């Protein structure tokens, strides 16, 4: 490990080069070096810390928390909350460190990890070229491994006029500086639902969501999207399911900077002919991996798509197991915590292989339970498989559901609590393979499901994990009781 790490040090060889310095990349560098004697450099084109810190998770959650507090207050007699938009945006700016990565640089240097600023591309096995912000080029070599953590970018569907209208992407909507009065969002996934929640909460007067498919939050249990849709409709949001945008026209589009309205009125024409006028349009229609301009062809890997990896996050089809991919680029689970998990696995594997040992820590167990929380109102939390995915995987499935409004723990949280929970069980092993919780205050419940799934805890043992009263965790007890009743009824009927 470097004795004195530096920014843009005057050297050209390290044991490990990490392309992209998001949180996952930082973890890969740390885990590869911390006990191994190896050294590492992070090559970062933008801000060290990546999307999550400045443009995604952190600013979005910073905007959603005040909206959630205000919604809770509205639903509790005797309490009131006033939204001070300027103060909320100012706190968001603090959360993103005013788009300054000095603290992340300090962390990297403190951990003995070097940082090179610039855009990196592979030029051959273990060889990387970095184009620096001033246009100069540096050639770096990795003695052991290169890790790709270059993330993903918003997908902009090829709708006539859409790109020309300079729509807001996730970077604009998380870093908004003004609240447009009328907004159309293209998409019905996680980004769209969370953004709709904070935009409406911050005062957008007319909000329309246009999305393919019948439900919001595709990929989750259908009741999750239904409960979020019910709430958005109740809050006056117009939902257009099963629709797409056929054409976009904008008066005087101009690049005014991130988070500022990008021009004049937007006219959005849906595929059924409906016309919606708006002040801004937000594209939240999925992500594309940043692999198109990485020089991957120089090592025999096609660029542009997700990078296929093995259980240690090594890129398949590359001889010598020196190229790894972590985070969104490997397409396994587009979530910060999963990227960081993959980074820990890749880092351990690099350190083990450098010592001539076989890596031992596989990334497969963690991917059985991929947890996710969507911070809408109600929150949606899940781990593992939905019923549909479990059936598709050939698992003999048993399910149980419970209306969370029936809990003492939820009754004290909100006057009008809406929520639901579901477990998906593998009948053969009588263990949980999937769990979904929808409702206020469920976010911290998800990890209990993750532990149950990863640990393959039998249902019989879960009976002895007693939840505290009165908390939302009592969902577990009610689900087990409901399951027990259904099993008794089935046995009696048989």
Ligand X SMILES: NC(=O)c1ccc[n+]([C@@H]2O[C@H](COP(=O)([O-])OP(=O)(O)OC[C@H]3O[C@@H](n4cnc5c(N)ncnc54)[C@H](O)[C@@H]3O)[C@@H](O)[C@H]2O)c1
Q: Which of 5, 17, 18, 20 binds ligand FAD (CB under 6 A)?
A: 20
Q: Which of 9, 46, 241, 305 binds ligand FAD (CB under 6 A)?
A: 46
Least distance CB 159 / ligand X (angstroms): 7
Closer to ligand FAD at the Cβ: 44 or 279? 44
Subset of residues 99 to 138 that bind ligand FAD, contact rule: CB under 6 A: 119-120
In the bound state, the residue with its beta carbon closest to ligand FAD is 151
CB 424, CB 407: distance < 8 Å: no
Give yes or no for residue 300 binding ligand X (CB under 6 A).
no
Give yes or no for residue 244 binding ligand X (CB under 6 A).
yes
CA angle 30, 32, 36 (to 5 degrees): 110
H helices present in 321-363, as ranges: 336-354
Radius of gyration of the chain (CA): 24
Subset of residues 16 to 45 that bind ligand X, contact rule: CB under 6 A: none
Taking Cα atoms as reference points, which of 313, 306, 309, 345 lies closest to residue 328? 306
Q: Which of 337, 344, 414, 422 binds ligand FAD (CB under 6 A)?
A: 337
Give yes or no for residue 398 binding ligand X (CB under 6 A).
no
- DSSP assignment of 2-64 equals -SS--BS-S--EEEEEEES-BHHHHHHHHHHHTTT---EEEEESS-TBHHHHHTSHHHHHHHH
Q: Tell me how far CA of residue 441 lies from CA of 68, 380, 473, in angstroms.
A: 10, 10, 10
Q: Which does 187 bind (CB under 5 to 8 A by kind): ligand X, ligand FAD, none?
A: ligand X
Options 9-17, 181-189, 299-307, 328-336: segment touching ligand FAD (CB under 6 A): 328-336
Q: Regarding beta strands 182-186 and 114-117, do their DSSP bridges make them parallel or antiparallel, or are they unpaired?
A: unpaired
Instruction: Give the 3-state secondary structure of residue 400.
Output: strand
CB 188, CB 213: distance < 8 Å: yes
Q: Which does 174 bind (CB under 5 to 8 A by kind): ligand FAD, ligand X, none?
A: ligand FAD
Least distance CB 282 / ligand X (angstroms): 10
Least distance CB 46 / ligand FAD (angstroms): 3
Residue holding tokens 């609240």? 179
Closer to ligand FAD at the Cβ: 52 or 413? 52
Q: Which does 211 bind (CB under 5 to 8 A by kind): ligand X, ligand FAD, none?
A: ligand X
In the bound state, the residue with its beta carbon closest to ligand X is 189
SS3 content of the chain, % helix, strand, coil (to 5): 35, 25, 40
Show the beta-strand stretches assigned E in 74-219. 114-117, 119-124, 127-131, 137-148, 152-154, 182-186, 206-211
Cα 404 to the center of its chain, rounded Å: 25
Q: Which of 159, 294, 383, 440 binds ligand FAD (CB under 6 A)?
A: 294
Taking Cα atoms as reference points, which of 59, 219, 54, 255 lies closest to residue 151? 54
Give yes or no for residue 274 binding ligand X (CB under 6 A).
no
Least distance CB 112 / ligand FAD (angstroms): 20
Residues that bind ligand FAD (CB under 6 A): 19-22, 24, 43-46, 50-52, 56-57, 60-61, 119-120, 149-152, 170, 174, 191, 290, 294, 327-329, 334-337, 339
Residues that bind ligand X (CB under 6 A): 157, 186-192, 194, 210-213, 218, 244, 284-287, 334-335, 372-375
């Amino acid at each position: 490990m470097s004795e004195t790490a530096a920014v843009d040090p005057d050297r050209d060889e390290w044991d490990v080069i990490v392309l992209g310095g998001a949180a996952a990349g930082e973890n890969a560098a740390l885990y590869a070096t911390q006990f191994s004697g190896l050294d590492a450099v992070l090559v970062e084109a933008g801000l060290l810390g990546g999307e999550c810190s400045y443009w995604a998770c952190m600013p979005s959650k910073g905007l959603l928390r005040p909206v959630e507090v205000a919604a809770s207050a509205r639903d509790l007699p005797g309490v009131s909350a006033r939204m001070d938009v300027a103060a909320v945006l100012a706190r968001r700016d603090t959360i993103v460190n005013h788009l300054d990565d000095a603290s992340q640089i300090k962390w990297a240097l403190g951990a003995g990890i070097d940082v090179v600023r610039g855009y990196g591309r592979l030029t051959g096995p273990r060889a990387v070229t970095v184009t620096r912000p001033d246009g100069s080029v540096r050639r770096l070599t990795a003695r052991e491994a290169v890790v790709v953590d270059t993330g993903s970018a918003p997908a902009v569907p090829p709708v006539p006029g859409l790109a020309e209208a300079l729509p807001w992407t996730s970077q604009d909507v998380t870093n908004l500086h003004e609240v447009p009065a009328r907004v159309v969002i293209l998409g019905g996934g996680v980004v769209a639902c969370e953004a709709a929640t904070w935009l409406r909460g911050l005062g957008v007067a007319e909000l329309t969501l246009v999305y393919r498919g019948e439900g919001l939050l595709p990929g989750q249990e259908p009741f999750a999207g239904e409960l979020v849709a019910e709430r958005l409709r109740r809050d006056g949001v117009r939902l257009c399911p099963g629709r797409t945008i056929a054409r976009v026209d904008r008066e005087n589009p101009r690049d005014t900077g991130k988070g500022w309205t990008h021009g004049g009125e937007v006219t959005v024409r849906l595929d059924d002919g409906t016309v919606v006028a708006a002040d801004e349009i937000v594209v939240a229609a999925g992500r594309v991996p940043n692999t198109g301009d990485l020089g991957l062809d120089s090592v025999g890997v096609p660029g542009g798509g997700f990078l296929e990896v093995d259980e240690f996050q090594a890129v398949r089809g590359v001889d010598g197991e020196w190229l790894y991919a972590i985070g969104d680029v490997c397409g396994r689970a587009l979530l910060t915590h999963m990227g960081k998990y993959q980074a820990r696995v890749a880092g351990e594997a690099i350190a083990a292989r450098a010592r001539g040992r076989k890596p031992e820590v596989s990334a497969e167990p963690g991917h059985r339970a991929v947890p996710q929380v969507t911070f809408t109102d109600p929150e949606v939390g899940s781990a593992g498989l939905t019923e549909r995915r479990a059936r598709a995987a050939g698992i003999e499935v048993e399910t149980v559901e419970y209306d969370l409004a029936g809990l003492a723990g939820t009754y004290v949280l909100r006057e009008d609590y809406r929520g639901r929970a579901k477990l998906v069980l593998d009948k053969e092993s009588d263990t949980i393979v999937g769990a979904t919780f929808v409702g206020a205050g469920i976010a911290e419940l998800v990890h209990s499901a993750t532990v149950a799934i990863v640990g393959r805890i039998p249902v019989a043992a879960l009976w002895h994990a007693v939840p505290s009263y009165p908390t939302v965790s009592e969902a577990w007890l009610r689900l087990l009781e409901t399951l027990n009743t259904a099993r008794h009824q089935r046995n009696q009927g048989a």
